[in-house]
Structure 1
Amino acid sequence: MSYQFTIIVPVYNEEENLARVEKELLAYTKIATKTTSILFVNDGSKDNSQKLIEDICERNEAFNFINFKENRGLSAAIKAGFDHVEAPLLGYIDSDLQTAPEDFNLLLEKIGEYDLVTGVRANRKDTFVKNMSSKIANGIRRAFTHDGMDDTGCPLKVIKTDYAKRIPMFKGLHRFLPAMILLQNGKVLQVPVQHFPRMAGTAKFGVWNRLIGPLTDCFAYVWMKKKYINYDVKSKG
């Protein structure tokens, strides 16, 4: 079957969430506005996640997986998804499902004239420390990138696949996806989406990851922006 849209789901030690992930994503494929497949990227989980992923994929034709030899981080998992997606559109959602798969339809509705549409978590259900560290990190990132985005950490995005495949991903650059689309002269948009508290498992990022890490990554982005190669072909013969 040919799919129009593939959702990338990075997984790292999420065995407690995967039954719910299967249920909600399977339900979404039935109401999706594009024919949809799911691509799990198991980032070297040390729990029973891989066995559960294999069982899910065996039960559901539209579900597939990539399994890393070892833990390489969220940016690597997203990059692997970009590399393997064949559908013209791809999406990204975290396996903790603090965002709702059905909200992909809100993003897909806008993707036609844009090259990336990202969610903005309305009425966030996180702790005060997590909310404040994310707010500060987003402010720092906007000062460096001028991308105009309020919540690049929102784990709900839709991107045109040809743009995603041209992103030179490095560790930490998953926070800069809108800025990397802008470097390609693409158009980006943010749309409010639902947000929920984590139901199971544990968060993989602390204050360091949300605040200090993004600050240092900003300098890497500035260097990359100066060196980035972009061109448009006028004609060929």
Structure 2
Amino acid sequence: MHPSPDISVVVPVFDEEGAAPALAREIATAFSDRNIEIIFVDDASRDSTVAVLSDLKRELPQLRLLRHQRNSGQSRAIRTGVMAARAPIIVTLDGDGQNDPADGPALVEALAAAGPQVALVGGERVKRQDSRAKKIASRLGNGVRKRLLGDTANDTGCGLKAFRRQAFLELPYFDHIHRYLPALMLREGYQVAFLPVGHRHRQTGASKYTNLGRLWASASDLLGVMWLQSRSRRPQGVDEV
């Protein structure tokens, strides 16, 4: 494994013993021409996710495996991975295999071409392979969030994103932050962009979210992010004199 990778791919997983090994191999294939590290962060899984990924490290030397001692949620797992990452560019994917790793390089290329003021390029899922109820709930939630926060994002629930590690570390952390990265990047004075990406059926395991659970969390999160936006004061640049 190269000591200084150019890209760190961070994947949070919880009870994904069926999806994780195939996903890790797909990531390695998608980025085969890049200098990468692959960081899976296990959020205290109850199944054999850690065991199957540990066995895979012999096959994929670029694979790193971190494990939370206590379940702490997807946002904390992403942050754990970003903190441990050694590359300046981060790519995140959901651990259930519904994000296609083959879309990742295009996000990285768009981020590199956009210049330093663009801190994040997010995926926007097309032809979503979710239930009708989940798609309706997502469409409503994204519409309300976009209107209230003005973050320009049509699909913040897409786990596939490429962003600059340093910019992420400048953001205030809270649970569920992964759904508000565009708004928070804009708050810090960065720009964001989006590209269409694919979406796949879940082949193994079960979703860890429910529409009702998302609704309750989203209401309090939205109020919190709106408060953060209202308390933001930027110097518009810093000069050393």
The two structures have a TM-score, normalised by structure 1, of 0.94
What is the SS of the residue equivalent to 2:57? helix
Counterpart residue number, 1:27: 29
2-structure distance, mates of 1:167, 1:23: 31
- The within-5 A match list for 1:23-172 is 23-31=25-33, 34-112=34-112, 113=114, 114-172=118-176
Counterpart residue number, 1:233: 238
Contact 2:99 2:159 (C-alpha < 8 Å) held by counterparts: yes
Kindly provide the CA deviation profile for residues 56-99 of structure 1, in whole angstroms up to 9, marking residues without a partner as x: 22432211021100100011111112211120100100111111
**1:188 corresponds to which of 189, 192, 197:** 192
Q: Which amino acid in the other structure matches residue 150 of structure 1?
A: N
Kindly provide the CA deviation profile for residues 149-203 of structure 1, in whole angstroms up to 9, marking residues without a partner as x: 1000011000011101112120122110111111111110110011111111100
| Range with bigger deviation, 144-153 or 106-115 | 106-115
Contact 2:31 2:105 (C-alpha < 8 Å) held by counterparts: no
2-structure distance, mates of 1:230, 1:42: 36
What is the SS of the residue equivalent to 1:10? strand
1-structure distance, mates of 2:38, 2:164: 16
* Cα shift at 1:226: 2.7
2-structure distance, mates of 1:213, 1:64: 31
1:8 and 2:10 correspond: yes
* Cα shift at 1:22: 2.5
2-structure distance, mates of 1:133, 1:163: 30
Contact 2:30 2:105 (C-alpha < 8 Å) held by counterparts: no
1:203 and 2:207 correspond: yes
What is the SS of the residue equivalent to 2:124? strand
What is the SS of the residue equivalent to 1:22? helix
Q: Using a 3 Å threshold, how does the CA distance of structure 1 residues 136 and 44 change in structure 2: closer, same or farther?
A: same
Q: How well do the aligned residues superpose, as a CA RMSD in angstroms?
A: 1.5
Contact 1:134 1:211 (C-alpha < 8 Å) held by counterparts: no
Contact 1:29 1:37 (C-alpha < 8 Å) held by counterparts: no
* Cα shift at 1:230: 4.4
Identity %: 29
Contact 2:21 2:53 (C-alpha < 8 Å) held by counterparts: no
1-structure distance, mates of 2:193, 2:18: 33
Contact 1:116 1:159 (C-alpha < 8 Å) held by counterparts: yes
The answer for unaligned runs of 5 or more in structure 1 is none
* Cα shift at 1:12: 0.2
Kindly provide the CA deviation profile for residues 7-58 of structure 1, in whole angstroms up to 9, marking residues without a partner as x: 1000100011122112212212314xx4221001111111111111222224
